[in-house]
Structures are given as structure tokens and as C-alpha cells.
Amino acid sequence: MDKDFIQGEVLLINKPLKWTSFDAVNKIRCLVKHKLGVKKIKIGHAGTLDPLATGLLIVCTGKFTKKIDEYQAFDKEYTGSFFLGATTPSADLETEVDKTFDISHLTEELIRNSTNKFIGTFHQTPPIYSAKQIDGERAYEAARKGRSIEMRSREVTISEFEITNINLPTIDFRVVCGKGTYIRSLAKDFGEALNCGAYLSVLCRTRIGEYSIDDAISIEQFEKEIKDKNILE
């Protein structure tokens, strides 16, 4: 691993389950600072992943942190699973199921055809349990305190949305979308379109622009390589 972290590097990291994006960046920052013997170095990521999501996280160091906005604008691909017939306040597994619904009316044709309603550009409301800032506070912080907040909808674009497997009450999907799209909100809205409720049970980001999860390394692998190999200062 011949890396020049000061001049700038782009690292492709496979974020572990239950780690925040900040956890991953902070771990990498600590490893790099220790290796280089410096007190400060610029390191950031290009697009947050929820703690319960895994997958590709682009981490930029040094002067390459100026490219973060560019990477954030790229289309992203996700794969994962929706659980049909129930909802949660967070639209994923962070919170407990609050409502259940009958799914006996669901057919494969209905499920697959309903994806067409979400292809194109439309307005989507971010989840209450999200990192979006509302009046200087993260939305999830207010939600966890039980406070009611207004989440304003915003324009998003989904170019591809396909159901890859159906094994009710779970369905697997693949989505290609633009900046700012929340897959948890898609799960909630998709459940409403099917008149049965849904929440996101599994999520993995598989691609950002031309960068693929296939080329990413784990935090453990990065730690091993940075300790074993020469790093440029």
C-alpha cells in the first residue's frame, strides 16, 4: 500500500454493519495519524450510510477531500430487502414494529408492477430517523427524544428499481438512484403503494458512480495493510 494521504487518496471501504459512517472515517483517521505521526489530517466520506446498512463508502484524504461534493453527486446503486406487512417508526430495524397489515392480496404481478410508480423524478420525504439537519439538529436526535418535527419533501430521481426475488413477506430489490434518495423512505412509500406497509430490513450500497463494492476493502483489511506496508508521508 504505497499511499500519499497528505496529497490525497480515495479509499473504497466496505462499511461494517452497525458502524456509522463517522465511525469508519474516525477509525481510518486514527490509523493514518498514527502511521504518519501527525496530529491532524483531513479525512471525510462522500455520502452517509446508516448504521444498519453495509457497503461502499468513499473516503477521501488530504487534498482529495475537495472532491467529496463531486463524488456525492454520482448515481448510487443499492441492493437489499423490504419486509412487507408491517411498519416501524424509523422505516427500518432501528425501531420496533408499530403496525401490522394483511398481505393476502399481494401477487407477484402487483409487486413487480408497483415499482413503475417510483421510476423517474418525484418528491420524497426523508425519514424522521435520519441524519438530515432540522434547525441545527439531526432529525434522528429529535426523533429519539420523542419530539415531533416536520420533514420537508425534496426532489429525488430513481432510474432503476427492480424486484430481484419474492419470498413473502420479504422481497429483494435493486435500485439505482440520484443524490439525496432515502431507501428507507422508498420502503415506506412502496408499502403504502401496495396497501400493506413495509420497512427496510437489509441494505447494501453496491456502487457509487464508477466505483464498485467489488473493489472495496474492509476496515480490518485497511488496518492490516497500513500497519504492514510502507506509507508515503
| CA distance to 55, 84, 85, 196, per residue, from 187 (Å) | 18, 9, 11, 11
Neighbours of 36 (CB within 10 A): 15
Find the angle CA(43)-CA(44)-CA(46) to the nearest 5 degrees: 150
The reply to whether 50 belongs to the active site is: yes
Catalytic residue among 2, 4, 23, 50: 50
Burial of 13 (0-12, 13-18, 19+ CB in 10 A): buried
- The Cα 22–Cα 33 span in angstroms is 16
Q: What element of type H or E holds 39? A: none
Phi-psi region of 142 (alpha: psi -120 to 50; beta: other; left: phi over 0): alpha
Among 207, 209, 233, 221, CA closest to 9: 233
- Under DSSP, the state recorded for 101 is -
Show Cβ contacts of residue 155 under 8 Å, excluding neighbours closer than 6 positions: 121, 122, 123, 124
Catalytic residue set: 50
